[in-house]
Structures are given as structure tokens and as C-alpha cells.
Structure 1
Amino acid sequence: MVLAAIIACEVGFWVAVLGGLVARYPARRPRLGTVLLVAAPLIDVLLLALVTVDLLGGGTASWHHGLAALYIGISVAYGHRMIAWADVRFAHRFDGGPAPIKPTGWAYTATCWKDVARTLLAAVIAAGLVGGLILIVDDRSRTDELLGLFPLLGLVVGIDLLWAISYTLWPRRAAA
């Protein structure tokens, strides 16, 4: 059930984002677009409620519950940036806005380091959610599976950190 809820929430998130952007630009309905864009993070709240109810109702935690926590962490940390990325492209395509800028050199390096901070925030949120679920359920035999998420979070942050270090040492060059 939890995996289906994650998939439904991911689809719902992107339907809300794309629907908001279509309403904002091609349909020229900016208020409706704003409402739909604001609905996107509310979907994360719904997913968190579903996961919590599942575990409090006697469910045993699986990797799906950890994935839900990771999804929520990424959505909170990167959601605004993803929406802004798509918004610039929709504005350019449908509303005559400026073309998106692809950063190079030190601007790209700075973006990489900001992403490290975002990834760290996503990992902290996911770890906090998993820790909270473990405390709320208070039954080690039902939540033991969630402990495997912590090393994965460290690995993801480490990879992103190496990515930023590599672009600090070898900045991205501008296209010829």
C-alpha cells in the first residue's frame, strides 16, 4: 500500500506542478496556476499522514516507508528549485520570458555547493522522519527495516559532496 501511495503522490506532485504551469502560462490563469503549485507540497503532507497511519495501525515498516521519508525530504529540499526550473522554461516557451541560463565555471560550482546543502537538508529531513516514525511506533521488531536508510542517506550526501568537490577543482567550461 505504501509503495502505491508513494507512486500516487509522485504522480500527483507532477500533475499539480505541470497543471499549475499550464494554467499560469498557456491558459493565462495565474491564480489557478498558483493554487495548483501550492497543492504540490500538500501532497507530501498527505504521504506522511498515510505512512504514519499505516505504521500506527500495526503495519511493519519496509523499505517503502524509508523511501517515503526520502521522497518527502527531497521534495521539501528540492521542490522549490524544481518548480522554479520548470517555471523559467514555461515562461520562456509560452510567455516570452528570458531563455534559461545554463551556468558554467564558478557559477556552476556555486550551484553544486548549494545542491550539497539541499541534499544534506533532504537527508536530515528523511532521517528525522524515520527517527520520528521509529519513536512513535516504539516497536523495534516492526521498525528495524527503517534503520537501513541511514547509511544510504550518508552515501547520497557523500556522492553529492564529491560531485561539488570535482567541479570546484575542475569547473564546467562554457560551450564553445
Structure 2
Amino acid sequence: MAALIAGCEIGFWLILAAGLTARYVLRLRTVGAVLLLCAPVVDLVLLVATVVDLRRGTAANVTHGLAAAYLGFSVAFGHSLVRWADQRFAHRFANGPAPVRPPKYGAAKVRHEWREWGKAVLAWAISCGLILGMIAMVDAPERTHELWPWIIRLSTVVGVWFVGWPLWTTISPPREPANRR
């Protein structure tokens, strides 16, 4: 399972790079679009493989929890990652505008941090839903006890993210230095 997760992560980036290369370097916009639409297929492969592995009777372990976390992150942040890479490729290879950078100051920075944390909450919800689904599907506590700590781990990450970024930025938003105005 760990090798499959690593393979899916590598596959995602390879498909993304191939799609952007086709779109901007080779000027094959349709091929690029098709390749970019294939990126979620990597997630589907991982999900199916995880379900098959558990249905075969394998006891859930840390890699099954990691697969759920990866899938949640990929679904919640995947579009943003593709957009981030697309902006950079367009700028580098197609004379597109400079990539948009996240805001550094004021209310725009606060909104940005809340939006990113919202994606983290979505990733948490998807991941925890998948974990709970695995636990229910296997229906054997002796084979799924390794999955419960993943809910705590993921909840801790989302909690720390909340305090360290959106809450902190809301309480004390960074202000643009006076000499930069």
C-alpha cells in the first residue's frame, strides 16, 4: 500500500506535468486538457486498491489511513494545485501573466487564510469519512483498530492549522510596512 500511495503521488505530478507540457510547450490544448482531467483517475485507482485490499481480508494499517488522508488532501487541494502549476507553466512557456501570489497583508490575507483552512477542513472531512467508511466496510474491530488514531492525527493537524493561521491572522493581521506604501 505504501508503494501504491507513493506511486499515486508521483503519478499525479507526472500527469500534471504531461498535461501542462502538452498544453503550453507542445501547443496541444485538447491533449493537455484530457491529461489534466485524468489527474483525478489517480485518486480513483488508490481508492479502489484500498477497498480491494481491505475486502481481501487485510488488517487495516497505517498505510490505509495514509491513503485516506492522501485522498482527502487530493480532493480538497487538487484544483488549487493544478491552478498553481498552470499559472507557472503559462507564465514560463506561454508568456502568460506572472503567477498570482497569495496576499501578505490586511483583510485579503485574513480571507486567504480562512479559505485555505476551509480546504483543510474539507480534506479532514473527506479523509475521516473514508476512514469511517473503511471501518464500517470491514466491520471487524480487530482489523480496523489502526484506523482510529488517524482521525485524531488529522483533527490535530486541522486544529493546529486553525490556531496558527486563520485565527492568528484574524487576531493580528499582518500590516504592510510603512516604507512599502
Per the alignment, residue 51 of structure 1 pairs with 50
Q: For 1:29 and 1:170, how far apart are their aligned partners in 2?
A: 47
* Deviations, residues 31-53 of structure 1 (Å, cap 9, x unaligned): 11111111111110110000010
Per the alignment, residue 172 of structure 2 pairs with 170
Distance 1:17 1:64, change over 3 A: same
How far 1:19 moved relative to its partner? 0.9
Query: Does the CA contact (< 8 Å) of 1:70 and 1:126 recur in 2?
Result: yes
Q: For 2:19 and 2:90, how far apart are their aligned partners in 1?
A: 12
Q: Which amino acid in 1 is paired with 2:25?
A: P
Q: For 2:67 and 2:173, how far apart are their aligned partners in 1?
A: 34
Q: For 1:27 and 1:171, how far apart are their aligned partners in 2?
A: 43
Alignment gaps of 5+ in structure 2: none
Distance 1:173 1:27, change over 3 A: farther
**How many residues align structurally?**
175
Q: Which amino acid in 2 is paired with 1:104?
A: K
- Normalised by the length of structure 2, the TM-score is 0.92
Deviates more, 1:108-117 or 1:76-85: 108-117
Report whether the alignment pairs 1:149 with 2:174: no
Query: Does the CA contact (< 8 Å) of 1:115 and 1:160 recur in 2?
Result: no
Q: For 1:87 and 1:170, how far apart are their aligned partners in 2?
A: 32
Q: Which amino acid in 1 is paired with 2:27?
A: R
How far 1:174 moved relative to its partner? 4.9
How far 1:116 moved relative to its partner? 1.1
- Normalised by the length of structure 1, the TM-score is 0.95
Superposition pairs of residues 14-163 of structure 1, within 5 angstroms: 14-102=13-101, 103-105=103-105, 106-162=107-163, 163=165
Alignment gaps of 5+ in structure 1: none
* Deviations, residues 79-109 of structure 1 (Å, cap 9, x unaligned): 0001001111111111111112322222222
* Deviations, residues 104-157 of structure 1 (Å, cap 9, x unaligned): 222222111001110000000001101111111111101110001111111111
SS in 2 for 1:25: helix
Per the alignment, residue 5 of structure 1 pairs with 4
SS in 1 for 2:26: coil
Q: For 1:100 and 1:157, how far apart are their aligned partners in 2?
A: 27
